[in-house]
């Protein structure tokens, strides 16, 4: 789908907007340190601690520190250069991120797949984040009824300070280029991929066309950050398109 036909309406985002980068990863990058609420509490007189205002989850993380950790990871995601991926946190909850994946080559080329990343309240101490595509995508490791991607096959045990949210998003992208058929969630897709590739391609073409057919559907929620698409409007989008395609001038 060319940019002359379709545009993405990007919600305002004070943290830097959408994420769309290339695949390069840098294992040396680390997140900002997360404040240790237990250590802080130990060094604070008990009379000064308002325990009613610091709800706790596993390992002593209060809601504030959970949100801090997640938003720090969003900042880290922006540095990872994952090609074709656009993500923005919900305006209502840091535990929900809206995303869209543009597939640019391979069997799923031209697919435009919208999804939701759901982060467990116990994050980062337990529970694997979930990825759900809407509408569901025909793929061996995507549930054909719910649209959920089998993320746990890549992260069977979530490890704090080792696994990060951008890892899950990178895994999601790679799933469309390296097809995994072991223990499938969609047995039909797995069987066709292994035994009848031509028919598999037909089914994939149908799921790509379906994603485009539903591209302009109204958002499924009232969240202002949910990603939505609209037809190309010259008066609205042409100037922005020209700016993106024009070479940047060198600072004097």
Residue with the bigger pLDDT between 183 and 16: it is 183
pLDDT at 20 over 80: no
Write down the residue that tokens 């305006």 correspond to: 91
- Whole-model pTM over 0.85: no
For residues 6, 149, 98, 91, the Cα torsion angle rounded to the nearest 10 degrees is 160
For the chain, list the domains and their CATH numbers: 15-21+33-44+54-224 (3.10.110.10)
Q: Is 56 left (phi over 0), alpha (psi -120 to 50) or beta?
A: beta
Segment 69-126, tens digit of pLDDT:
888 888 888 888 889 999 999 999 989 999 999 999 999 999 999 999 999 988 888 7
pLDDT at 140 over 60: yes
């Amino acid at each position: 789908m060319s940019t002359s036909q379709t545009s993405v309406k990007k919600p305002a985002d004070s943290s830097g907007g959408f994420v769309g980068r290339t695949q390069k990863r840098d294992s040396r990058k680390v997140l900002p340190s997360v404040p240790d609420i237990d250590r802080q509490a130990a060094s604070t007189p008990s009379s000064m601690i308002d325990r009613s205002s610091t709800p706790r989850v596993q390992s002593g993380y209060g809601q504030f520190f959970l949100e801090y950790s997640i938003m720090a990871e969003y900042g880290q995601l922006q540095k990872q250069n994952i090609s074709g991926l656009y993500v923005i946190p919900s305006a209502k909850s840091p535990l929900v991120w809206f995303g869209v994946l543009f597939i640019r080559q391979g069997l799923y080329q031209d697919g435009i797949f919208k999804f939701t990343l759901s982060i467990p309240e116990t994050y980062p101490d337990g529970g694997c984040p979930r990825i759900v595509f809407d509408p569901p995508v025909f793929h061996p490791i995507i549930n054909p009824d719910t649209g959920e991607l089998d993320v746990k096959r890549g992260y069977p045990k979530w490890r704090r300070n080792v696994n990060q949210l951008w890892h899950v998003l990178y895994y999601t992208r790679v799933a469309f280029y390296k097809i995994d058929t072991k223990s499938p969630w969609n047995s039909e897709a797995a069987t066709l991929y292994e035994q009848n590739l031509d028919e598999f391609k037909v089914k994939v073409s149908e799921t790509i066309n379906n994603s485009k057919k539903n591209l302009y559907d109204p958002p499924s929620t009232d969240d202002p950050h949910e990603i939505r698409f609209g037809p190309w409007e010259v008066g609205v989008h042409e100037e922005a398109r020209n700016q993106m395609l024009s070479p940047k001038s060198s600072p004097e």
